[in-house]
Structure 1
Amino acid sequence: MYLSIEERFKKIIPEPIKKIIRPVRNLFIKKNETELSFWRSRFQIDQGKFKNSHYQQLMLAIAAESSDNFLKGKIIADFGCGPRGSLVWASSASLRIGIDVLADLYADEFSDNITSHGMIYVKSTEKVIPLPSNFVDIMFTINAIDHVNDFPQMCNEIIRVLKEGGEFIGSFNLEEPASPCEPQQLNEKIIKENLLNKLEVQSYRITKKGPESNPYAPFFEGNLSYQVGEEGFLWVRARKPSN
């Protein structure tokens, strides 16, 4: 199995050694090249056609919904979508938008896959999501917002493009050490200060990670357990207030 540099670093090197060499390593690895390398490795693993069937179960679980009926006729988006077709399953939506800083590179590298997803892929910058204000009904993001360079700015952008009364549905990595691909080490305080305090929270679930083979298992099994400071996941559904 082909492993990217980042995957090799996580799997092979013991954690005490990682803590020592991580700051030095981060200085010499370029973020975008590392992320593209990761998707190239996934493309090989998926044998030339990205697998995306798992997104439906995961995104519905984060939203605490049993079907996609709540998306009917709505404009939906996925921030930090990657090239796998994360919104293919959401056929009841009127418009499906994938937002990613590498969207143009995905289009060049994985063109047959990208054009088969029934999604519009939009290239974001590290400062601006190039969509109108008050445009998106529902914004998803799955463990992607820690990839941004400026967390407060991109939180503001997510809120800006959401319609009044629109919903944010997201999964966050908690206390995962910063890396070239994920320069933000997030925790509950940072997420609340920059995003959730500006929204009306409807659902808030937090847990430590499950086994490597199924890291989200605690959510699906209803066995949530978390201590502040440990690595874990936060699942949130929140609404943008109406003025």
Structure 2
Amino acid sequence: MTRQGAYRNPIAKYVHEYMFWKKELAEKGFLPNGHYEALFTTLFGLEKTFYDGKRLLDIGCGPCGSLEWAENAARRVGLDPLAEAYRFLETDRQQMEYTPDFVESISFPDASFDVVTSINSLDHVDDLAKATAEMARVVTPGGHVLIACEISPAPKPCEPTLVGWDLAARFPGTWRILDVSRFPFTGNVSASILQGRPFAPSAPIPTHGVLRLMLQKGGESFEKDAGGKPF
């Protein structure tokens, strides 16, 4: 779960990330975001109404407007260290908010959000333990953490942190696992889930794949409720 060798240069990582999106904008003339609703609903087996009146925080959101679709939410915040630079990619035209935080040091108070999401972003972080601790801190008791992440055997330039199948255990505090599913990796994290089938629970644990994880944060009264799988 640590960064390795040639991938320890964070500056190169962020330059690579920004230039990717800048090229996308130059080639297409806009950054499409129409596909995001399915990533936050269908991918996790949820309806859009799940987000009614909730405060949302999307980790590693990028500049496309990942939460523009969620007009039914009470608040929509995208977290990305490059948020200020992304203003040059026209994020000011969007309705959602952006915060230029590192996930290892989120600027919001405890229990600020009802749903914290990370779709194909946790392997981009610099310190996974701090990242999961901060995500746990800012979600309210009874709130949810939704994650889709590649589980890779080797680091990549923009994905220097190796995340394991045991990711749920990395979140401090009391949680319930509402879903933990392992999918074959087909070249794209979201497509691997939306178009694929999960490995059978009895199958050998693969070294490479995609993890879908849904957690609900516990609390004094929450722990008395039924349902879910505690750990």
CA deviation profile, 1:96-125 (whole Å, cap 9, x unmatched): 000011111112x21x3x122211101113
On the 8 A contact 1:62/1:170 being kept in 2, the answer is no
| Deviation for aligned residue 1:61 | 2.2
Equivalent of 1:101 in 81, 89, 103: 81
On the 8 A contact 2:55/2:114 being kept in 1, the answer is yes
2:56 & 2:11 partners in 1: Cα distance?
33
1:222 & 1:229 partners in 2: Cα distance?
15
Whose RCO is larger (CA < 8 A, sep 6+)?
2
| Deviation for aligned residue 1:31 | 1.5
| Deviation for aligned residue 1:155 | 0.5
Q: Give aligned pairs, total.
A: 214
Percentage of pairs with the same residue: 26
Q: Over aligned residues, Cα RMSD in angstroms?
A: 2.3
2:10 & 2:86 partners in 1: Cα distance?
23
Equivalent of 1:195 in 171, 194, 205: 171
CA deviation profile, 1:191-215 (whole Å, cap 9, x unmatched): 13312874211112211113x4x65
1:197 & 1:172 partners in 2: Cα distance?
21
CA deviation profile, 1:164-207 (whole Å, cap 9, x unmatched): 11111110110252123211111112x13312874211112211
Match of 1:32 in 2: 14
Aligned letter for 1:76? L
TM-score when scaled to structure 2? 0.83
On the 8 A contact 2:79/2:102 being kept in 1, the answer is no
Equivalent of 2:66 in 86, 89, 92: 86
Aligned letter for 1:152? A
Match of 1:127 in 2: 104
Aligned letter for 2:182? I
1:78 & 1:25 partners in 2: Cα distance?
24
Structure 1 stretches of 5 or more lacking a match? 1-21
Q: Quick check: 1:117 aligned with 2:94?
A: yes
More helix by share: 1
TM-score when scaled to structure 1? 0.79
Equivalent of 2:193 in 219, 238, 242: 219
Match of 2:223 in 1: none
**Residue 32 to residue 219, structure 1, CA distance change in 2 (3 Å):** closer
